Structure 1
């Protein structure tokens, strides 16, 4: 896809991987709208030439704000990147609300945006939906609910790719590894930079990939193709 002149929407586009995707799409010639929850970060993105939409995607009002903000525009690229972690603890029922918030943001919101913005995407000469899942969608670690949302989004992405196979809308899944972001700040160990992860995702959009396995996810995908059970064992110890 030639991104020059295309209109793109990047959810969670004011920070982390989303911010880098937005910057690189802009550098490739796209006009980019970003969503986010932080007024300060959105203001900073506006200063860089981005259109911004303040939105908490865990709420119906937040979904409405995004849809209403782009529904009358020639949207060609939808990047469902926004995501949150969960404080879910199997032995603590009090964490169920955190789990529900994670599900609403990571799974319900992308499904809603794909569904409600599909008519706009279909109307373009070429379009792309990019759902950002995770290597954890292939094999989970012990972060149960977060992993479940990413696995659910992976399954949904594969399903709609089949449904849209005869349309002008390409469906891409991006699977990052552990990336250096605010969400992973407390984690130790090797992390991929947000810039490098975004570069692989944007390259995947440009070249028409169905899946973008970023960084170490390439190795995980290889192990999983040989032995899914081994991949699960490795990741559950991760």
Structure 2
């Protein structure tokens, strides 16, 4: 199966001109559908839909405590890894089923509780900072604002450069600065053949670069793997 873009949708409405208008409740049109500025659907029930919503609330699933429902939603929608493609941007893996987000189309209440989860619970991975920036550019601003986890897969020689570029990008690139929900950045460091003490070198590099990332509003984790870089590229 060919890689698919992470999301599609109509263009979101323009930003309100004033705070007063920003707080105003946007009503759904009589026909069709309406999207909020953040890209989410307005699923407020109208007319006969209200009775349908009441009937849905009596289902065994929706009568469960919210905490249990939330765990179910995370099991269904979470744990995915989207890797960047130089042409397509961040793509879902070929093994992901076509109906991976079908849960959101079940009913209005489930959509309201799960709409941001497909992006918020997904790890977005790239091999370079430049590639990550290029893939982020292909996402809508409302989509970038939902991303919580970003991963860079590098081999140890390029780690200092990529981490420094990332620090610059977070401060100066509008695409990185728009990651308002970002909570964690993972640096996955792959080893190279015939190199002793790779882990120690990686840890030393990280300690050297630590001052430049200490003031970041998210966690930066560096993980070392014994997998060879060339094996990773061929996997």
Q: Which one scores higher on RCO, CA 8 angstroms, separation ≥ 6?
A: 1
The structure that has the greater radius of gyration is 2
- Normalising by structure 1, report the TM-score: 0.35
